[in-house]
Amino acid sequence: MQIIPTIELQNGRCVTLRRGRFDDPMLWHVDPVETVLGFVAAGADRVRVTDFDALQEGSGNDALIEEIIRKVGVPVQVAGGMRSRERAEYWIEKGAGQVVIGTLAARAPDEVKALAKYHPDMVVLSLDVAGGRLMTHGWTSESPMSPEALLDSFAEVPLAGVVITDIDADDSETDKQLGVISGLAGTTRHLVFASGLVDSLDDLSRLKYVPGIAGAIVGRALMKKTFSMQEALEIARPEYEETAGFR
């Protein structure tokens, strides 16, 4: 299982949100660049940066994200505010390893499919789900399309993967949310990464054995120092059974 550590930016600072509420962020007094470099030094082979300001139509974090892309030495997933093909291609041209697209995929799927075919394995489809419904525009609007229908429409598109975030995870039992995400994972052949479900090493241990889940996006637990990046990678490492030797 792959662990992708993430930082979430608002006004140039690392924050986390509860149930997508932008008006009440939890602020972390850490340097964004140094934080990401720390993840990489601990063994992360990919990182994710989510721009909350871009979700609200801002672009104040662009220079900071470009600095992260230049310095970290591993592929960077850039998420947040990819509301046009031009915006996604801007980040690809700036060196992003992958771009994460949600709202645009629901609103203009053909545009995103064309982008993914032109940039194979560089587009990550993002599904934000609340109460089984697909949410868009920074978790504020309900899409008329179901999560299952959106996944099905991208079945033959060369995506880098699919990130599924259950927005209800903050207020619900983890086992229930694992069921939601594993159910959706079972409907697609794409690699599926769970987001918003990991608050402890026990959560990671359970997620590791959920069919169809290729990895997890982990942010808040790393910021809270509930566990370290090294501990997360240790849990995620494949377990090999000993086999009898032949004489």
Q: Is 62 part of the annotated catalytic residue set? A: no
Separation CA 167–CA 147 (nearest Å): 13
Q: Is 23 part of the annotated catalytic residue set? A: no
CA distances from 133 to 20, 85, 127, 184, 228 (A): 15, 25, 10, 12, 33
Residues 6+ positions from 226 with CB-CB distance below 8 Å: 199, 200, 201
CB half-sphere exposure, 31, CA atoms < 13 A: 6
Selecting among 8, 53, 166, 203, the annotated active-site residue is: 8
With H, G, I as helix, E, B as strand and everything else as coil, classify residue 213: strand
Q: Are 4 and 236 in contact (CB under 8 A)?
A: no
User: In 62-138, at which residue ranges do the beta strands (DSSP E only) sit?
Assistant: 76-79, 98-101, 123-130, 133-136
- Any bridge partners for residue 218, and if so which? 5
Selecting among 51, 53, 128, 166, the annotated active-site residue is: 128
Query: Encoding tokens for residue 228?
Result: 């370290």
Task: Just list the catalytic residues.
Answer: 8, 128
